[in-house]
Structure 1
Amino acid sequence: MERWVRRKSILGGLAFVIAGGLAGGILGGRTASVSERTGEQLATYTNLLSLVQSRAAEPVEPRVAIEGSIRGMLRTMDPHSNYLDPEDYKHMLEEQQGSFSGLGIVISKPSNDKPLTVISPLEGTPAWNAGIRAGDIISQIEGVDTLDMTIDEALKRLKGPKGTKVTITVTRPGDAEVLHFTITRDDIPTNSIRQAFMVRPGTGYVKIENFTRTTDHELDERIRALQKQGMTRLILDLRRNPGGLLEQAVRVADRFLKKDQMIVYTHGRISGADQEYRATGAGDHLDLPLVMLVDKYSASASEIVAGAIQDHDRGLIVGETTWGKGLVQTVYPLSQDAALALTTARYYTPSGRLIQRDYNSLEDYLSHDEKDEDLIKVSKEVRRTDGGRTVYGGGGIHPDVVVIDPTPPVVDLLERAQMFFHFAVEYNAKHKGLPRSFEVTPVVLQEFQEFVRARQDFQDFLKARGVKWAAADIDANADRIKGEIKESIVSALWGLEEAYKVHAEIDRQLQKALDLFPRAQELAALPGAGPQTER
């Protein structure tokens, strides 16, 4: 996984449209013929392009002009129809397929003047086995300096066919020696489930990052492993999950629903767009008490699962109102390795809710800064669950229990500037052999304050944003900051999965979920549970 993904961010703007818009897509087939009228308009477009190329004040590259006009056309339709250039399409296929060939490292390069830095090697991958560590600075790839590379250029050099080798030069904080690693590339699974552990005795926790071709099998494996550790109830986390394959959302929901219960149905104008998806009755987890976590960045396939669970009163939905993407894309491969992700249908939850949020203002749709109570006010659809509870459509899935977990401004600033990460790298270099039982003491917190105060890059970061900062801000949020420091130190020493267990202890929504299983069981016992009648 040679890429950098911030734990508490989601792809924004166009990138989010790509990631979210592909959710629910299936590979499409034939292209329809164009009408005579359309042919005349295409002739006008060709004439226009010719004039631009021959008479514009500055030279215009045809590919750039044509791709720009394609994207402009699609923007007139909806936020999720999108043109995928070869690079975007390749990335989508890799993510949905579940693996690619590379080294297995998460890397960061915030800007061209910053070094290419390892955030974490992934356990069991070639980078992990070779001894790459969090905080390592990759100064060269195959003898080529990385400082002036973009992160995309670095990724292309790190990835490659399975079995091929790549040599990287590394400088390590606290080590004067320049290190050289020649690493053999291998298949790197892009697992959709990276965190699954016992958060409390009897309570399992599973986080689904997105829905790929392997999600259902991963979920089965993780649940079986947790049940062997004594799990009798489950927290299923879909926060910051932008979606994925429709069929995988159906299969995940199928694990928890009774035979013939509706999971989702789709409606569109092309042949085959109208489909119903119902539970097969083969689910192994029908009696497992379930609490599901969602937030404003849970979208598409995530909302299909949450909507089905909520409409059938199968579990309790906790967190924040979800994104509100109720559009299904079909992905049509094009020539020259590009593709079109075209909205071809809308999806509806079992009770008949259309989850799609209003997108008349694209800026408002992408910023998504509405409050939960405001989203309820604009919801135009009122429906009933199997047990008779009121639910709303037209603006995402509104949780049964709203729990807001805002990040304090000072913590957000420190995180965006990567201060927790950089401190962890330096702290670990100075304090060798930390035990797993270590805690962040007031002494460590003071050391962090001094570290941040001395970092000129942090002062520049604040100045560029016109933000003032004082040590009192850290004191006022000491417990949260201590948790972030510990999480970063654990991540650098023992990997992302161990770090997430630390994060769980300062995760307000997860901690609230632990107290809500009695309510989840009451829901599942409501009258009306059972196969849904025909629409």
Structure 2
Amino acid sequence: MRQRKFYTFGAMLLLVGMLLGVQIGAVIFHDDTARALKKLEDAFILINQRYVEEVDSAELAERAIKGMLEALDPHSVYIDAERMKRVTEDFDASFEGIGIGYELVPGPDGQDTLTVLNVIPGGPSEEAGLLSGDRIIAVDGASAIGYTHEDVQRNLKGPRGTRVTVTVLRPGYPDTLEVTITRDKIPIYTVLSAYMLDEKTGYLKLDRFARTTYAEFMQAMRRLKAQGMERLVLDLRGNAGGYMEMAIRISDEFLKEGQLIVSQRGRLPETNEAYYARPGGLFEDKPVIVLVDEHSASASEIVAGALQDHDRALIVGRRTFGKGLVQKQYLLDDGSALRVTVARYYTPSGRLIQTPYDNGDREDYYRTKLELQKEFETMSAEEILNHIPDSLKFTTDTGRVVFAGGGILPDYIVKGERTSPFLQAVLRGGVENDFVRYWLDRNAETVHARWDGRRDAFLNTFEVTDEMLAAFYRFAGEKGIRVVDEKPAGGEENGKVQYFTRDEVGQDEAQLRALLKGRIATRLYDRSAWYPVINRIDRTLNEAMKLWAPAENLSFHHGEGG
């Protein structure tokens, strides 16, 4: 491995995992490899020509590829051509279309109605005047009633500059509207929310690491600094990873010149690399808290591991997923792709955070992870530390003990909050979402007149009233979730109705009010409006906000070069 390497953007594009557009070139086979390949070819031809029934050659080939990958690690996968299109959009963080979030609302005779959930700010649908709650009943004169998700992709997505006319039924208006929209490039933002929690604390929610993530991150950070940010909460919960390059560049903004960010080691010499921080980070000396959970994986763990090993940030939450493998993506001729593990990555202290696995047994791999997560949920921090063998213990720059194997263990563990049976029933059935749509349909004109373009005012002043809460309980009762003074004998009616007492439900009132307000905010504005509402009752974030003293102590030592 090279002893010192300052990465450049160009070099990174050539080297790190999960880069799109790489074609499989010429391969020099050893004799054993050539014989094995010939055997596979003979078997494929024999089955095609001699099997009693005609076989689908393309499907047979895909099954063979999947079979080979199943013998490897759990993260080497085959991606068919159709899914590859969606993956490319996801990692490119853009697509071409009309720019709406949508939902399919069940209608009469099982015919779903395409409904605008929200319009993407600055997109063509916003410019054309579409609103949250609009029902799209026809596209280019053809009925859209009964649309599937595939129909939406086929008819509303399309090349930039092309036009589509939608017929809209707007709640509160008697007549239909015809709206012509010129399709455009639509960004898919990976920074879901960035705002000030208080006068000096910034909050940044990062959803995944796509091609645009670093640029989005820098833009959000500069905006927060201009608003007075002196310390940052970086929320990586639920972030399953993505481009390794983006994780390295973001980590670099917090670390001092020459500090190791991550290293990777593979079978081939060209996969052995080490990446170091460059001079001039945007936020090198200020306090940082990073929130993680069991769904934080891969690139998220690179960031958390680098900042933890250099005592740069306080890691708070729950143990991360534990994916320490680097994949490289190879495109096949038909547009499908192989995503193959080419290396393992190690944090600056030398930790491999990959969860152990047996080759080929993916089901056991994920089942074991789920069991470990459940086990850790019942253990105290001290019990978890005692559970980890000495061979997996490493030290940070200042000598703090950190752990390898099975993810990043936070510096401060905040166990997941148990959702009450009442809220579980509500969320499982999507009742709160259905109610918000129902409520907005009946108050659309008033709500849009009062709150359109007044996002900050809505977030700061809108309240879910007692009257609205009572309306929700009535609505939930019609959906089989009934709030009563006393449960009837037997507790359930015909096995379909669930009963909860007012005392039980009263304990969830603050969460329920926030949930309803957050759903309304998301529909009126965009997804980013959810977080300023729901974060007020977020247990992990609230616990983290009490931990600035140790976080500031870490930033002090880092500023001193410790």
TM interval, short-chain normalised: 0.7 to 0.9
Q: Distance in 2 between matches of 1:132 and 1:489?
A: 17
- Most deviating of 57-66 and 475-484: 57-66
* Correspondent of 1:45 among 36, 40, 61: 40
TM-superposed CA distance for 1:78, in Å, is 1.0
The 8 Å contact of residues 312 and 558 in structure 2, kept in 1 or not, is answered as no
**C-alpha offsets along residues 350-373 of structure 1, whole Å, 9 cap, x if unaligned?**
001101112335224335422434
Q: Which residue of 2 aligns with 1:96?
A: 91
1:410 aligns with 2:422: yes
Q: How far has the Cα of 1:493 moved from its partner?
A: 2.1
1:455 is aligned with what amino acid? K
1:397 and 2:392 are equivalent in the alignment: no
Query: CA distance change for structure 1 residues 521 and 245 in 2, over 3 Å: closer, same or farther?
Result: same
TM-score (norm 2): 0.83
Measured at CA, do residues 467 and 440 of structure 1 come closer, stay the same or move farther in structure 2, by a change above 3 Å? same
Q: How many residues align?
A: 503
TM alignment of 1:232-311, pairs within 5 A: 232-311=230-309
Contact (CA 8 Å) 1:386, 1:529: kept in 2 or not? no
**Counterpart residue type for residue 298 of structure 2:** S
Verify the 8 A CA contact 1:491 1:498 in the aligned structure 2: yes
Residue in 2 that maps onto 1:525: 556
Q: Quick one: which amino acid aligns to residue 258 of structure 1?
A: K
Q: Are the equivalent residues in 2 in contact too, given 1:105–1:127 (CA < 8 A)? A: yes
Taking a change above 3 Å as real, the CA distance of residues 343 and 402 of structure 1, as seen in their structure-2 partners, is same
Find the aligned partners of 1:337 and 1:81 in 2 and give their Cα distance. 17
- Residue number in structure 1 paired with 2:509: 478
1:142 to 140, 143, 151: 140
Is the Cα contact below 8 Å between 2:324 and 2:354 reproduced in 1? Answer: yes
Q: 2:77 aligns with which of 74, 77, 82?
A: 82
Contact 2:118 2:525 survives alignment (8 Å): no
Name the aligned partner's letter for residue 97 of structure 1. D
| Structure 1: runs of 5+ lacking an equivalent | 1-22
1:450 aligns with 2:462: no
Q: Among the aligned pairs, what percent are the same residue?
A: 38
The Cα shift of 1:332 comes to 1.4
Asked whether 1:106 is paired with 2:117, we answer no
1:387 and 1:241 map into 2 onto residues whose CA distance is 28
In structure 2, do the counterparts of structure 1 residues 467 and 395 end up closer, same or farther at CA, with 3 Å as the change threshold? farther
Aligned to 1:516: 547
Q: Which residue of 2 aligns with 1:7?
A: none
Tell me if the contact between 1:310 and 1:316 (Cα under 8 Å) persists in the aligned partners.
Answer: yes
Distance (whole Å) between structure 1 residues aligned to residue 160 and residue 558 of structure 2: 55
Alpha-carbon distance in 1 for matches of 2:144, 2:324 = 42
Q: Distance in 2 between matches of 1:133 and 1:197?
A: 25
SS of equivalent to 1:213: coil
For the pair shown, the structure with the greater C-alpha radius of gyration is 2
1:329 is matched with: 327
What is the alpha-carbon distance in structure 2 between the residues aligned to residue 507 and residue 467 of structure 1? 31
1:505 offset after TM fit, Å?
0.8
Q: Does residue 528 of structure 2 align to residue 497 of structure 1?
A: yes
Which amino acid is the alignment partner of residue 499 of structure 2? A
Displacement of 1:52:
4.3
Cα drift, residue 64 of structure 1: 1.6
- Matched with 2:113 is 115
Kindly indicate whether the alpha-carbon contact (under 8 Å) linking 2:206 and 2:235 is maintained by their aligned counterparts in 1: yes
Amino acid at match of 2:188: T
> Where does the alignment leave 5 or more consecutive residues of structure 2 unmatched?
1-15, 452-457, 483-491
- Distance in 2 (CA, whole Å) between partners of 1:170 and 1:497 is 26
Change over 3 Å in CA distance of 1:468–1:257 after alignment to 2: farther
Q: How many angstroms apart in 2 are the aligned matches of 1:409 and 1:31?
A: 58
Match of 1:341 in 2: 339
How high is the TM-score relative to the length of structure 1? 0.87
Match of 1:19 in 2: none
Computed over aligned residues only, the root mean square deviation of the Cα atoms, in angstroms, reads 2.7
